[in-house]
Amino acid sequence: MSETADHTDTAAEDLSRPLTIGVEAYISEEWARAERDRLWAKVWQQVGRVEELPEVGDFLTYDILDDSIIVVRTSPDEIRAHYNVCSHRGRRLVDTPEGAHDGRGRGRQFVCGFHGWRYDLEGRCTRVPEREDWQGTLTDDKIKLGEVRLETWGGWIWITMDPDAEPLWTYLEPAPTLLKSFDLERFRYRWRRWLVFDCNWKVALEAFNETYHVPYTHPEFIPFGSFLGWSRVQGRHSNIGFEAPKGLEENQGKLRIGGGVDARVSTAEMQNFIWENANTNTTETLVDVANRLAAELPDGTPPDQVAKYWLETARREDADRGVVWPTVDPEAVAASGTAWQIFPNFQIGHGQNNMLCYSARPYGYDPDKCIFEVAVYQLYAPGEEPETEWVFTPPDHPDWRTVLPQDFSNMAAVQKGMKARGFTGPKPNPYRERAVANLHHNLAKYMGAGAPRDLD
Ligand code: FES
Ligand SMILES: [Fe+2]
């Protein structure tokens, strides 16, 4: 791998000029191996939700390449992380059942299945059979589980394997500031699915971090209006948003009304289409209210009034049953856009009452495969949150319905094309696909190679 890092300061870099990216980061096994120490060992990674570990002793595991991490609730107000490896002879302490998303459970201690060494929730080794045989050399410090840094933000648990990493909040900025009023920590999973794609983790994420593909990959959306949008550099992260529809403020661009001649009807059509074919980006309340717009609003109601009525009614009806939407001022809605690409591998598609998130990570050192997670969240009345778990769902499974498989269908084909002799490298749209360039711009800083180059 070459050592030609681009050390341009991202803060001063909006990446608005035409750029091209090398294919090495997508297809090289050597690159995938280098990511282990240069990227994954350094960054903050989202590993689950706080509410997944409600009781002391609840734990889950998170695997990234050769490393596995136990994330465990140690007290009502503390979650900690340890390396998931026994200090005796290195057996993985908590196994992931065959085919499961992770290893999880509840307990007071972790017992290694090989020779029975035991560890408490804090990672201290509490029992070594025949410990005296080590002649007093097995000090507590030598045999405790390795510590991993953990912090929470937005209701998510984040870990970093770098003891010297900056605090989570400053790593994530400006996302926490721009998303603050959305109260993301109040959202709960509606459903969550995971799968393995035949493409690099970057190819999978880049299928979702731009709006340029919408009219071509999802032609069914064309009658509902334009879904094209902008893409902005936000330090090491990026965000994307739709252009404001004609006649509407940009702050209303987040929850789209239909673009047909009668906004009452086209809003209902679009909501039903999304609900049935994606089951993302909307809620039952929003669909129900949309279906009543034609009956409740007069003919000729202008689109901005339709949108206002629709959202205000849905907000009120949700509040009446204990589902309280956050109050987000219109400027914050406009500035936050529709989705954030948190470096390197997490996308938050936030909303005021629902959310759609994607994560991708390597599947071993095969650059042509990745683990991908899709999670839909919404706000629930207290006590009405559904029980969910990660469900392995292959790309052709009917539970994905129709819209997401359209995105999936490009992935393996892009991965193949990246290796083709005739391909000279990705050329992301400098306006709509800036998040693609920014991912590689920042990746290059960690990897010491692969910075986007000027196209001309
Ligand atoms: S490897 Fe864990 S007790 Fe021996
Ligand atoms: Fe898409």
**Domain assignments of the chain as residue spans, ordered by start:** 14-44+176-455, 45-164
Give the HSE-up count for residue 297: Cα atoms under 13 Å, Cβ half-sphere: 25
For residues 357 and 348, the answer to whether their CB atoms sit within 8 Å is yes
Looking at residue 255, its pLDDT comes to: 56
How does pLDDT run across 402-454, given as a tens digit for each residue? 999 999 999 999 999 999 999 999 999 999 999 999 999 999 999 999 999 99
Q: Residue 52: which of 130, 123, 136, 156 has the closest Cα?
A: 156
- The residue whose CA has the least distance to atom 4 of ligand 1 is 115
Cβ pair 300, 309 in contact under 8 A: no
CB neighbour list of residue 222: distance below 8 Å, 6 or more residues apart: 215
- In ligand 1, the atom with minimum distance to the C-alpha of 117 is 3
Answer whether 117 contacts ligand 1 (Cβ < 6 A): yes
Largest CA distance in the chain: 88
Residue 369 has which token pair? 């495969």
Q: Would you identify the CATH topology of the domain 45-164?
A: Rieske Iron-sulfur Protein (2.102.10)
Q: Are strands 188-197 and 391-392 parallel, antiparallel or unpaired?
A: parallel
In sign, the C-alpha dihedral spanning 413, 416, 422, 423 is: positive
Asked if residue 86 has its Cβ within 6 Å of ligand 1, the reply is yes
Q: What is the pLDDT of residues 215-260, one digit of tens each?
A: 999 999 988 888 889 999 999 999 999 887 655 655 555 556 667 7
Q: How far is it, in rounded angstroms, from Cα 369 to Cα 412?
A: 9
pLDDT of residue 37: 98
Q: Which stretches of the chain drop beneath a pLDDT of 70?
A: 1-12, 245-258
Q: Sort 384 into a burial class: Cβ within 10 Å, 0-12 / 13-18 / 19+.
A: exposed
Q: Distance, CA 325 to ligand 2 centroid (Å)?
A: 26
Query: For residue 423, is it left (φ>0), alpha (ψ between -120 and 50) or beta?
Result: beta
Ligand sitting nearest the alpha carbon of 112: 1
- Is 91 a pocket residue for ligand 1 (Cβ < 6 Å)? yes
- What pLDDT score does 226 carry? 82
268, HSE (Cβ side, Cα atoms, 13 Å): 14
> What is the 434 CA–ligand 2 centroid distance (Å)?
16
Whether a cis peptide bond, with omega within 30° of 0, leads into 174 is yes
pLDDT score at 261: 84
How far apart are the C-alpha atoms of 400 and 194, rounded to whole Å?
11
The C-alpha atoms of residue 225 and residue 227 are separated, in whole angstroms, by: 6
- φ, ψ of residue 35 in degrees (nearest 5): -60, -30
Predicted TM-score (pTM) of the model is 0.95
Measure 217 CA to ligand 2 centroid, in angstroms: 6
The reply to whether ligand 1 has any atom less than 6 angstroms from the CB of 127 is no
89 CB near ligand 1 (under 6 Å): yes
CATH of span 14-44+176-455: 3.90.380.10
What is the best residue among 91, 118, 130 to mutate for testing ligand 1's pocket, by most ligand atoms within 8 Å of CB?
91
In angstroms, what is the span from residue 275 Cα to ligand 2's centroid? Answer: 15
Looking at ligand 1, which atom is closest to the CA of residue 91? 1
Task: For residue 456, count other CB atoms closer than 10 A to its CB.
Answer: 7
Which ligand neighbours the alpha carbon of 110 most closely? 1
For 7, 9, 16, 233, 234, the CA distances from 12, given in Å and listed in that order, are: 11, 6, 11, 10, 10
Tell the residue nearest (CA) to atom 3 of ligand 1.
Answer: 115
Q: And the tokens for 157?
A: 């648990």
pLDDT at site 1: 45
Q: Strand 188-197's sheet: what is its strand order? A: 229-234, 237-242, 339-342, 346-349, 354-362, 370-378, 188-197, 391-392
Ligand nearest to the CA of 86: 1
Q: Ligand 1 centroid to 103 CA: how many Å? A: 18
Query: What is the distance in A from the centroid of ligand 2 to the CA of 213?
Result: 6
142, containing H or E segment: helix 140-143
Interior CA angle at 328 toward 277 and 360, to 5°? 45
Sheet hosting strand 104-106, strand order edge to edge:
45-49, 156-160, 147-153, 78-83, 67-75, 58-64, 104-106
Query: For residues 71 and 151, is the Cβ–Cβ distance under 8 A?
Result: no
Q: How far is the CA of 49 from the centre of ligand 2 (A)?
A: 25
The Cα–Cα gap between 117 and 160 comes to: 26
Q: Which atom of ligand 1 is nearest to the CA of 116?
A: 3
What are the E-state strand segments in 145-244?
A: 147-153, 156-160, 188-197, 229-234, 237-242
